[in-house]
Amino acid sequence: MSRRLEGQVAIVTGAGQGIGQGVALALAKDGAAVAIVGRTESKIVDTCELIQQAGGRAIPVVCDVTDVAQIDACVATVVESLGSLDILINNAQVSPHGPLAETTDATMYEALESGPIAAFRFMRTGYPHLLKRPGVVINMGSGAQMINEGMNYRFGPYLIAKYAMLALTRQAAVEWGANGIRTFLVTPSAWTPMSREGHARHPEVFDRLIQTTPLGRMGDAETDLGPPICWLCTKEAGYMTGTTIQLDGGQMFMH
């Protein structure tokens, strides 16, 4: 088993289920100690137990990513408990949808504060620790931001938040690259509780996406997304930063 990330410490937000959980499992299998961050204690504890049963190291950290004080406390807890911060995976995102004309300020703020603003706050708080290593930041985007289906089916607040993640990632790459901190945007496609809910609401959209994906399927968060994300955190990817990595079975290639 590869242990390329032995001795490194990762934070994964929204790690109680779905993509966050799958990536956390992959990071732990590759040797990293992982802080499993989320709002629901039972879910993040379950993820920790899966990692520990496989021989990995993980701690649960309850954190509402829309609360700046909780973010600061989360980073402090991780560094105190695990010794450092090498990898930051900003995966958490509330995903409201609906037509823009009917979107309230509260809904738009929820999308932005849970996604790009939370990522910015984690990056800002984590910066002094990432600087010491130097570390890697991976922000989760969405392939839906690049295709018409996302816009047609009124995912406006969500898509706007994901576009902001792209700008945040690139700006950090420019500002922090000289200090050795590398940043990436990953646009994933995988079965998750959210994608299954979306499939139930708009089966024709998801079925068409799968049919037009060259690899012909949705991904698995742990086995399809996890390994390449782990690789981005290694020295082998040390000359890469600021770029968007599409882990979607070729979906965006077809659009």
pTM reported for the whole predicted model:
0.92
Say if residues 254 and 214 touch (Cβ distance below 8 Å).
yes
134-166 residue pLDDT tens = 999 999 998 765 555 544 556 789 899 999 999
Flag residues of the chain having pLDDT under 50.
Answer: 150-151, 254-255
Query: What pLDDT, on the 0 to 100 scale, is given for residue 133?
Result: 94
State residue 254's pLDDT score.
46
In order of their start, the domains of the chain are: 9-245 (3.40.50.720)
Residue whose C-alpha is closest to residue 221's, from 15, 31, 7, 53: 15
Contact 28, 6 (CB under 8 A): no
Q: What is the pLDDT of residue 144?
A: 62
Q: What pLDDT digit, counting tens, does each position of 49-79 carry?
A: 999 999 999 999 999 999 999 999 999 999 9
Q: Where in the sequence numbering do the catalytic residues fall? A: 158
**Helix spans in the chain (H):** 18-29, 41-53, 68-82, 105-114, 116-132, 148-152, 156-176, 193-201, 203-211, 226-232
Q: Residue 150 has what pLDDT?
A: 46
What pLDDT does 199 receive?
66
